[in-house]
Every structure is written in structure tokens, then in C-alpha cells.
Amino acid sequence: MSSHPTATEAPSARKAMTLHRLREMRAQGEKITMLTCYDASFARLLDSCELDCLLVGDSLGMVLQGQSSTVPVTLDEMAYHTRCVARGNRHAWLLSDLPFGSYQESLDQCLRSSVALMQAGAQMIKLEGGGWTTEAVHFLTQRGIPVCAHLGLTPQSVHALGGYRVQGRDADGAATLRQHARELSDAGATMLVLELVPTALAAEITEANPQLITVGIGAGNVTAAQVLVLHDMLGITAGKLPRFVRNFMHGASIEQAVRLFVSEVKSGRFPDNAVHGF
């Protein structure tokens, strides 16, 4: 069954998001919105709801493929979904995840994988972890590739971390996260996802690194931006949702749910630290 072509959309007065504009929003205290996206249809819808950023996440392995983790996702799969999202997107800033095994081997491998995603339509790549990744971040940014880092619960390392648990609760863990955030910022990272991190620690990292656009998921409402997995916030993920997720679909259409997410993040009403934070 084929789909009928849609009529040509009227030109939008909205300008395409840029890294410069995202930095301005961070400096001015304007909350930045982000959701994961994996196909052209949802990209068009999310873009029409004026999402600031779309993330082609390796979470697609779990929410689309039914995998138990993000580890099995391949670079070819990430490039395919990035191309799909890029076709549907017009204005949002587009990030794409480097999947497990596509950047750990060497700097040359990291560059090749990043180039593949950029050529597929990504405007920024995201990689997980601190410490050893600092060199990779510097290597990429020196070659004109914007980088979003990712600390806290890093799903590609879930087995090493002992499961999906809050990171940085003890003094040593918190100190390591602070150090890694500073090193990643110094290496040239522009964005930093903080996942499953205590709210107070996320606030410290955000305040101590004003040049970093911190992106919270399970890190309270103190970060510069908020991200959720699309299928989680629409309530269509099987099983129990994480504490930091809010189902925006209650009594709403998908478009209304996304617009509510944007409104609630911009206003600071979501996440609620008492309900969604740690």
C-alpha cells in the first residue's frame, strides 16, 4: 500500500536551528527541547511542533528493534535512520549517536564513523563516556565535527556499570563525573548529556561549565536542555517506564503530546525534581 503524496507545505517563518543559536539560548537561560527520532514521518511532526533538537539515538535498538540494550546497533543502521530523519527535518538541530564498537578502536575509526553519520545528515555526533573519550572529542572538534558527550548512565556500558542505576551518588563517583565533564568541555564538546545523575550534581556540572549545553535525562530540571526517548514520552514503550519519564499522551493526540512536552520544558514545569529527579 502506498501513501498519497502530501501537498507542498507553506513556507515557514521559523529559522533553522544553529549551534550559535543553541549557545545563545544556554546563555540566556532559555530551556532547550530535544526528543529522539528515528524516521521521516516523526521528524516532520516533531519539527512542526518546534522541537529545538532531534536525536537519532541508538535507543532505536530497544524501541524499534526489540533488543535488550543498545549494544547490538550497527553504524549502518544509525546512518540509515539518520538519513530518514534528515529527510523529514527542516529546522531542528540534528544529532546522531555513534553506536557501540564504532569509535572505541582508534581515532581513525572514530573519524570514519563520524563522517558516515555527518554525510547521512547529522549536524553533530554523540558519543558516550569520559576519560578516554577526551582525546576523541578533541580529535573530532579540531576537524570541524561538533560533538555531544554523554556522562552518567551510559547505556552502551550498561553491563560494566552493573545495570541501569543512578550514577554519581557517592563522593568518588561525583568527583569523577565533575572531572570528566570539565575535561570534555576543555576538549571541545559543545553538548553534554547527563543521564541518571542526582539533580544537585547535574546543577553543579551545569554551573561549573557554562560553555557546555547540558542535556538532562533523569537529571532534574537544572540542565540547559531536556531529552526523552520519543516512545517513552508517548507511553508506547512496553514495560515499566523509568522514574524520570513522564507520559505526555494522557488525553492527547501525538502532536498535542509533543507540544505539551515543549511547553512544559520551556516553562520549567518538566521535569519536576520531586517526582522525576534523584
- Quick count: other Cβ atoms within 10 Å of Cβ 14? 12
DSSP 145-203: --EEEEEES-GGGHHHHTSS-----SHHHHHHHHHHHHHHHHHT--EEEEES--HHHHH
- CA torsion sign for 117, 123, 129, 130 is positive
Residue 128 is a catalytic residue: no
CA–CA dist 262, 31 (Å, integer): 9
What is the Rg, in whole angstroms, of the alpha carbon atoms belonging to the chain? Answer: 18
Quick one: CA dihedral 130, 103, 166, 32, positive or negative?
positive
Catalytic residue, chosen from 183, 195, 204, 264, is 195
Residues annotated as catalytic are 195
